[in-house]
Structure 1
């Protein structure tokens, strides 16, 4: 059975075209997945639209569009789980947004044990011997009738039945116990929502107030930003929840003041903004819309509408911008047999993306909002026409895919970003602000064949080297970057294998990997 791909433009290893610098990952980032604000040239004085208070549950839009529900609105509680959303979608627009490959919902385990057959006891009686001699004579020589074996068989049958029942009970108990353990590992309600590998980090001190949580001394607010996708944010399952996102925000707020999203499906925009509201942390989020070139714009329009709802509900105080597209040009150009994003083929793809960017601006204007609109792509696949249409660009710059060692990775990242992205943006009339949308280092591979990429080797030790050599120097240089990524995602490992599921600073249960977070102030 062929792999369930999340992007129609993905190539196999045999047909994969080379990047200009041979550094990008062909698996799209969101499925590879891949207050005191810094000074920015982007407009920040966004107006605040009137809050839409109709049709929301717990502050999360539910009543219209993809969030329709037959349930009546109820009083919000701090840890009200959002659950699954049956969002309308088309087959074409969701083929690239697969359900998690068994990562988030436990299967039901049926008891397959059965007992068949029974022992049939004979009812025939043995003949009784007459007395030896006359009827009135002595009976001492009369043989005693042999005792029936019926009692013995009955006892044995009862013992076997009891043993069978015990085996069934023990088997069921083991299955239930294993299910409970696995669920506890992935549970969003686990007490180990920590930021340390000891599992004793962030703890909410007041169960009714998400803003009251202890800080982990091993975490430092030294990262400019973090690339983030809430677990379970893929259609059609949508297994994310407000409770889980709150726990993520509590931890990430100790590392950074900024996060970026990739898409808007499964209500993730509203979930993140609600979590920021309830935790009362100083956090800005760049919302994302992940359009697909082959679905007649269905994915773009679906996400645009829920982004609009989220902005109308929460305002723009904690929104840094709306990013339209992630590696759209990389995928479009490669799918059409080209390598240059500024070629004729690239220009055709750019017009699709620019139309969505302009439509996003019109949507924001229609609700009285003025916030930056940008685009994210592989670092060497920006189209100049697209950059001229946006306020900012976000470049995915991964030293792992550049075949450089961990020791060289920070220098390579800085040089590539400056030459391929910043210099190009500065040559344009609008001079869009440029960020590094993704950079990081994988810590393991699911198979030995993908454990290294030339001198690039996946390990926690090499992640530590990249953290130590990149983070503080980038902060000092004033580089805006989003570290990839918050935590591992096992469903990506199951679907793609290799290093794809192992880019997190944290394990999936929110325990910090065996690394030390640099202690320097981010911009």
Structure 2
């Protein structure tokens, strides 16, 4: 795109005092949130209340935005919007949440009504209050009893955000008209899937798959600890949805292979139980080379001496995964995921696919240029490089999105644009359908807010979801286009 230089970036905001993207940047003392070992999720509740939509500043595209978006049209973004409809932040997408209201009306009984009448009235009021109390308790319970039916089915699952016509059959869930199956794929980690506690559950994952299947037919995982692989495949089986999952092994360059071996066993067991009908591949490593470079002073050179040394640790895990699959008579693609600027060519030559994390937010790109920059960066830094290799591995965007909030004012901006629901909407409108049209294979980041990350790391880390942590959709309109 005109005016935007293709540059290497480390997913670290340039804003003074800002918190590094711990989702995508490894610190030897503090593992990033998706490293599925040694992390305890301190937030397992579903009671997180969404922030007021108006509490974040809205970015309104300037007149120069149209010129930038038109430049992107030549790169395949023919559907990019010029921002019309966002003036004043009161577009159709900005739906204000409604809170339940109860009304009570006391009727003064005339003096002609005797004491017996007053007693009767008191009894009636007591019954009504009792019923309302029971109803409120039922709806706020973390485990729905499935006893309150309505024309849209019965609330089911831990949070009760999905209804089922048969409370005992997860495949009978009622679709939400606000959700559209418009995303190529979505990045997903089941809640509480970190060691040592492993607080995830099948009921939670079933609810997630019911919602995710209304947005996409593809999801990617980050690791296999806490039985994630089997839970997701079982949830797909019970919901009977059209869903393909890329399983993953989040190996660590500093533990002598412990994490890799542990997760290898989890993946093998899941494949033995569920087969491969709903599996798209197995991803070995998540930002392994970036982590290794950071821990060993390798700077920004994934194909330098340090990067190549890291490759010699990662490639054996990739080869071992291939051998494991072959021993099971399974033929699945094997790949790796890394930050967009940190793919090692030796690693790419050893895989069937690469998954690239491409975040305009952490490259300090303005929202009006974010979609076009993402496509441009991905094509130049990843697709073209992969096509130049002998094996020509397929490339996916593993992560891209836009945060909606920050725990502090210092991190609510990446420089030119704010973290806000308005800007998430703008990125959805300018990226999703255009990417579907031009054939970009991407996994939107991410399914829901992971509040434990904002508690532990602060900044924007916990605010990347399409849904709030309680699995209610943020006040956005999902684009209506097919993949």
- When the two structures are superposed, what TM-score results if normalisation uses the length of structure 2? 0.72
SS in structure 2 at match of 1:452: coil
1:334 CA drift (Å): 1.5
Residue 251 (str. 1) matches residue 217 (str. 2): no
Which of the residues 326, 329, 341 maps onto 2:289? 329
Contact 1:194 1:201 in 2 (8 A): no
Aligned to 1:411: 372
1:20 CA drift (Å): 1.8
Aligned to 1:443: 404
Which of the residues 16, 27, 30 maps onto 2:22? 27
Aligned to 1:503: 464
Q: Distance in 2 between matches of 1:303 and 1:188?
A: 30
Residue 272 (str. 1) matches residue 232 (str. 2): yes
Render the CA deviation track for 1:6-28: whole Å, top value 9, x for unaligned: xxxxxxxxxxxxx8235456424
Q: Distance in 2 between matches of 1:383 and 1:321?
A: 20
SS in structure 2 at match of 1:441: coil
* Mapping 1:142-153, distance limit 5 Å: none
* Mapping 1:116-131, distance limit 5 Å: none
Aligned to 1:158: none
Contact 2:402 2:419 in 1 (8 A): yes
1:405 CA drift (Å): 1.1
Aligned to 1:100: 41
Query: Are residues 104 and 479 of structure 1, via their aligned partners in 2, closer, same or farther at CA, if it must alter by over 3 Å?
Result: same
Q: Distance in 2 between matches of 1:258 and 1:188?
A: 28
Contact 2:448 2:465 in 1 (8 A): yes
Contact 1:33 1:492 in 2 (8 A): yes
- When the two structures are superposed, what TM-score results if normalisation uses the length of structure 1? 0.67
Q: Distance in 1 between matches of 2:163 and 2:319?
A: 43
Query: Are residues 487 and 297 of structure 1, via their aligned partners in 2, closer, same or farther at CA, if it must alter by over 3 Å?
Result: same
Equivalenced residue count is 368
Which of the residues 242, 247, 250 maps onto 1:287? 247
Render the CA deviation track for 1:415-436: whole Å, top value 9, x for unaligned: 0000000000000000000000
Displacement over 4 Å in runs of 4+ = 29-34, 188-195
SS in structure 1 at match of 2:231: helix
Q: Distance in 2 between matches of 1:304 and 1:336?
A: 26
Q: Distance in 2 between matches of 1:204 and 1:336?
A: 52
Contact 1:240 1:266 in 2 (8 A): yes
Q: Distance in 1 between matches of 2:457 and 2:409?
A: 14
1:360 CA drift (Å): 0.3
1:208 CA drift (Å): 1.0
Q: Distance in 2 between matches of 1:484 and 1:440?
A: 5
Query: Are residues 200 and 264 of structure 1, via their aligned partners in 2, closer, same or farther at CA, if it must alter by over 3 Å?
Result: closer
Render the CA deviation track for 1:186-211: whole Å, top value 9, x for unaligned: x364989999xxx9963122111000
Q: Distance in 2 between matches of 1:413 and 1:463?
A: 14
Aligned to 1:393: 354
Contact 1:194 1:511 in 2 (8 A): no
Contact 1:23 1:399 in 2 (8 A): no
Render the CA deviation track for 1:362-381: whole Å, top value 9, x for unaligned: 11111111100000000000
* Mapping 1:64-463, distance limit 5 Å: 96-104=37-45, 184=140, 187=142, 189=144, 202-338=162-298, 339-463=300-424
1:443 CA drift (Å): 0.3
Q: Distance in 2 between matches of 1:328 and 1:189?
A: 41
SS in structure 2 at match of 1:308: helix
Query: Are residues 438 and 33 of structure 1, via their aligned partners in 2, closer, same or farther at CA, if it must alter by over 3 Å?
Result: farther
Aligned to 2:450: 489
Query: Are residues 296 and 22 of structure 1, via their aligned partners in 2, closer, same or farther at CA, if it must alter by over 3 Å?
Result: closer
Q: Distance in 2 between matches of 1:242 and 1:105?
A: 15
Q: Distance in 2 between matches of 1:498 and 1:97?
A: 22
Contact 2:11 2:24 in 1 (8 A): no
Unaligned runs of at least 5 residues, structure 1: 1-18, 35-92, 107-176
Q: Distance in 2 between matches of 1:349 and 1:480?
A: 27
Q: Distance in 2 between matches of 1:219 and 1:442?
A: 19
Q: Distance in 1 between matches of 2:32 and 2:416?
A: 21
- The structure whose Rg is larger is 1
Unaligned runs of at least 5 residues, structure 2: 1-6, 13-19, 26-30, 48-132
Aligned to 1:152: none
Render the CA deviation track for 1:59-99: whole Å, top value 9, x for unaligned: xxxxxxxxxxxxxxxxxxxxxxxxxxxxxxxxxx97x5311
Q: CA RMSD in A?
A: 2.7
